[in-house]
Structure 1
Amino acid sequence: MNVSGHRVVTNEELLERLNGEMRHAVAPVTVFVGVEILLGFVGNLVVLGVFFFRYHHCNFRYFVLCLAVFDFISTLTTMPGEILTQQYWYKYPFPIVCKVKSFFNVFTVSGEALCLCTIAVERYRKVCAPFGWQIKHKYALLWIVVIFVVAFVLAFPVFFLWGATSHTKQYGGRYVTVTLCEKDARFSESNTPMAYVTTVEAIIAVCLVIMMCLYVFVAKKLIKLRKKAQYHCKSRSHSALNMNEAGMVNNLISLNNGDVPTVSNVRAPQITQTIDTYDETDGGESEFYDVESCQQDRVTSWNGIERSSRRKRREKAERVRTKTVIMFILTIVFMFTIIMYFTLLTMITRSEDILRTMTDSQKTVYFFFLRLVFINHVINPFVYGCLDPQFKRILKSWCCK
């Protein structure tokens, strides 16, 4: 107590009060991250089981497993570490946890960026250059190893640059010592952490630009093939109808002349050139683009021998488009959230008092959009479940068993 008889609030009590306000402000974000951890853990565990044990051998399988491993690691390290950070923002208790959480944050984000960039290259080759070189199985597996090594090298400096550090903060008219999970105390006055963050951001930005450019070419190619297929569908169906009518007239004339009509009197329309490629990089899965699939459907009605072959080709072409759409969606979500994350992170890095000037509701909104980047570790299983027919069939068979 002071001389007037009032109880003096200790620094520890002030620190607890300050931390409690922050904890209350970000409570909705903590719940949101907790739900993401649950969904991400279960979803990525299912993805790992399906694609590792039941999915057919192809590059798509290998790259999905690569993404799933990064996502699963994040649900076990970065996301729980973030909840701990939100609960003890101003009184961080475990310096080693801060280092581990920060390391895996950079490791998983950079690893996913490299993996999605590789997938963009693979999709571009299959769609835009199907007759050229393709990524073989052994090179795909080797490149996945390279991705993990590069991601580890990029994240390794975090062990030295980040950690729990203490400084004084004004609160309630007094100065209180707070402990935060940010730059390590040895580098608190150094520009090295900022230079490191800028370097990582630049590398990821290059990956984003490459992905965006490649998917623009892929989208243009798919749209062009779709329009060409629709054009040939209309033109060939009209031609087939005219040929069919002509054949019926010839048969009627033959009957009037006493002749017996034969199948040769009615001819199928000639097959014009199609775009057809075979790719062995997906374990024998042919991936091709048939711009006249509708026209060929007309032909198979006249030639039953080719019906099964044409149907399989259409199914394989559809698988190519489906896989491309899946990876395009995952890439768009990653680009949107990672750009938002780095933008907000730059704001808080350059303005140390930004959190102090925010209201509780503003803090909630800020941290919600900052941690929206974790959606990348959760969304993949749901995209596969909605768009990948083989993934859905395997899940359905598991549920039945």
Structure 2
Amino acid sequence: MCEYSCRGEKRVPVQPRYHKISASMSSTMGAYNTLTDDGSNFTNSSVNVESLEDLNKRYADDLLPLTITFGVFTLFGFLGNLLILIVFSLSREYRRNNFKVFVLTLAVIDLITCMTLIPAEMVKQRNFFEFENALQCKFKCFFNVFGASSSCLALLVISLDRFRKVVQPFKKQLTPKLAVKVLIGVAIVFPICLAIPGTIMCGINTTTMVNKYGTNTTIHLCETEEKFEASVWRNIYKWIFIILLGGISLAYIIMYTFVMRAAAKQIKAISLQRNNSSFDFVQTSSIFDTNMIVHEPTNDLSIRKVNKNMRDIQNAANGKHSVTRCSCQSHKRHTPMLQRHGFPTKTIIWFILTIVFIVTYFTHIILSLRVGKIVTMEPGQFASFSFFFRIYFVNHMINPLVYAIFVKRFRESCRNIGPLVMEKLSQFLC
């Protein structure tokens, strides 16, 4: 073939055609040969590029154990919180009080999270670097903000209730009816409003990542959209969250510090009162030796209490029962709950759940400072980072376990829930 056209008098040179090799084609070639300046020696130069699908699969395989773990969290949290709703709603053993309101509120929040956020996170882990569905991304971002802020604010209301009951037992308390209204506004409506700006700014961010061959692969992440990354509103929104969580966590610590101090003082008072009661009983029953010396620190107040108890017992022995009954009723009416019944299990439950929340979410906030370095992590490092970054999912499935450990009535109700549900169904159908 000649390099020129032979038609007509004018001969036009034919330009050689050069074809651009795409990245996807070069990834299958492995290597190509280049000619040196002297035309004699050839060298191999690698042009391998890892495809997006292969890169995503490589990381998803290392995330698979974590994805399965979150699946267990979802199943346990869904069944456990559903059981809580059934037990506390249908069982006759639980009257309408603040504890029931708080338990049901947290169960609803955790059930929503276990049905939405955790499964969405599992889907994201299977498509972390090729997440291209903007609607699913915004859905996950909404429930991510809603679940965190809703649980945080619900625990704040519970902490305030514990503080009033233990530290300020004689002041006006939060009634169940008022607690429902406060929780709807604080733990449901406000978190929804708080989640809307984050949902708007959330979307698909396209960037590049160095693959295993040392070349770049284009990836698609579900995070803040590129146009909002440098926005002042995003920085304001981020600091609102940090201040909100930090301030509320500090409020938790302060209130529970006062609660524990008051509890310790009242437990000491209970112990002293019981010792004094035993002392009076032994003395009046002629078992106590009046010559016996008891080395026990006392003060004028405790001595007056001992003398009063002795007079009450002597009056009862002489037939003056009306005085003793009146004294006991007055004592029960004006004595705080903690002094009548001992340290309440409810305070222990809410304190444990609050501490778990603080630890897990502060871990999440600290690790969020390294989110930008995800693209430089190896698959094993990325899997470990993802586990601790989402460790706060524990908050949404641990409640049934805590109730089962500390509330005996809850354990008994769970055993009887089958016949109870059948009875309610038969009543509904009939």
Q: CA deviation at 1:122?
A: 0.4
- In the alignment, is residue 170 of structure 1 matched against residue 210 of structure 2? yes
3-state SS of 2:26 partner: coil
Where does 1:374-385 land on structure 2 (aligned, <5 Å)? 374-385=393-404
Where does 1:144-155 land on structure 2 (aligned, <5 Å)? 144-147=183-186, 148-155=188-195
- In the alignment, is residue 22 of structure 1 matched against residue 59 of structure 2? yes
- In the alignment, is residue 94 of structure 1 matched against residue 112 of structure 2? no
3-state SS of 2:216 partner: strand
8 Å CA contact retained: 1:77, 1:104: yes
8 Å CA contact retained: 1:248, 1:266: no
Question: Which of residues 77, 82, 86 in structure 2 aligns to 1:40?
Answer: 77
- Residues 315-360 of structure 1 show CA distances to partners (whole Å, capped at 9, x for unaligned) of xx35x70111111111111111111111111222xxx2x2244333
- In the alignment, is residue 228 of structure 1 matched against residue 272 of structure 2? no
Gaps of 5+ in 1: 250-262, 280-286, 291-313
Two-structure CA RMSD over aligned residues (Å): 3.1
**1:373 maps to amino acid:** Y
- Residues 102-151 of structure 1 show CA distances to partners (whole Å, capped at 9, x for unaligned) of 11111011011111000000011111111111012221111011121111
8 Å CA contact retained: 1:26, 1:364: yes
8 Å CA contact retained: 1:23, 1:88: yes
- CA distance in 2 between counterparts of 1:166 and 1:111 reads 31
8 Å CA contact retained: 2:159, 2:256: yes
1:247–1:227 Cα change, 3 Å = closer
- In the alignment, is residue 134 of structure 1 matched against residue 185 of structure 2? no
Larger Rg: 2
8 Å CA contact retained: 1:117, 1:207: yes
Question: Which residue is 2:338 aligned to?
Answer: 289
Question: Which residue is 1:240 aligned to?
Answer: 281
8 Å CA contact retained: 1:334, 1:376: yes
Matched residue pairs, number? 349
8 Å CA contact retained: 1:74, 1:377: yes
- Residues 353-395 of structure 1 show CA distances to partners (whole Å, capped at 9, x for unaligned) of x224433332222111111100000000111111123322221
3-state SS of 1:8 partner: helix
- CA distance in 1 between counterparts of 2:287 and 2:410 reads 47
Question: Which residue is 1:74 aligned to?
Answer: 113
- CA distance in 2 between counterparts of 1:19 and 1:48 reads 39
Question: Which residue is 1:355 aligned to?
Answer: 374
- CA distance in 2 between counterparts of 1:134 and 1:141 reads 14
Question: Which residue is 2:257 aligned to?
Answer: 216
**1:169 maps to amino acid:** M
Question: Which residue is 1:337 aligned to?
Answer: 360
- In the alignment, is residue 106 of structure 1 matched against residue 106 of structure 2? no
- CA distance in 2 between counterparts of 1:264 and 1:247 reads 17
Question: Percent identity of the aligned residues?
Answer: 31
- Residues 253-283 of structure 1 show CA distances to partners (whole Å, capped at 9, x for unaligned) of xxxxxxxxxx94699998799864579xxxx
3-state SS of 2:370 partner: helix
8 Å CA contact retained: 1:278, 1:288: no
8 Å CA contact retained: 2:201, 2:225: yes
Where does 1:270-285 land on structure 2 (aligned, <5 Å)? 276-277=332-333
- CA distance in 1 between counterparts of 2:200 and 2:330 reads 58
8 Å CA contact retained: 2:282, 2:288: no
3-state SS of 1:168 partner: strand
Q: CA deviation at 1:224?
A: 1.1
- CA distance in 1 between counterparts of 2:140 and 2:288 reads 75
- In the alignment, is residue 346 of structure 1 matched against residue 365 of structure 2? no
- CA distance in 2 between counterparts of 1:346 and 1:96 reads 25
Question: Which residue is 2:234 aligned to?
Answer: 193
Q: CA deviation at 1:2?
A: 9.6
- TM-score computed with the length of structure 1 as normaliser: 0.79
1:20–1:191 Cα change, 3 Å = farther
**1:213 maps to amino acid:** I
Question: Which of residues 108, 111, 118 in structure 1 aligns to 2:157?
Answer: 118
- In the alignment, is residue 367 of structure 1 matched against residue 386 of structure 2? yes
**2:27 maps to amino acid:** V
- CA distance in 1 between counterparts of 2:273 and 2:330 reads 10
**1:177 maps to amino acid:** T
3-state SS of 2:207 partner: strand
- In the alignment, is residue 327 of structure 1 matched against residue 366 of structure 2? no
8 Å CA contact retained: 1:341, 1:371: yes
1:141–1:272 Cα change, 3 Å = closer
Question: Which residue is 1:295 aligned to?
Answer: none
1:18–1:183 Cα change, 3 Å = same
- CA distance in 2 between counterparts of 1:156 and 1:394 reads 39
Q: CA deviation at 1:52?
A: 2.3
**2:247 maps to amino acid:** V
- In the alignment, is residue 53 of structure 1 matched against residue 90 of structure 2? yes
3-state SS of 2:217 partner: strand
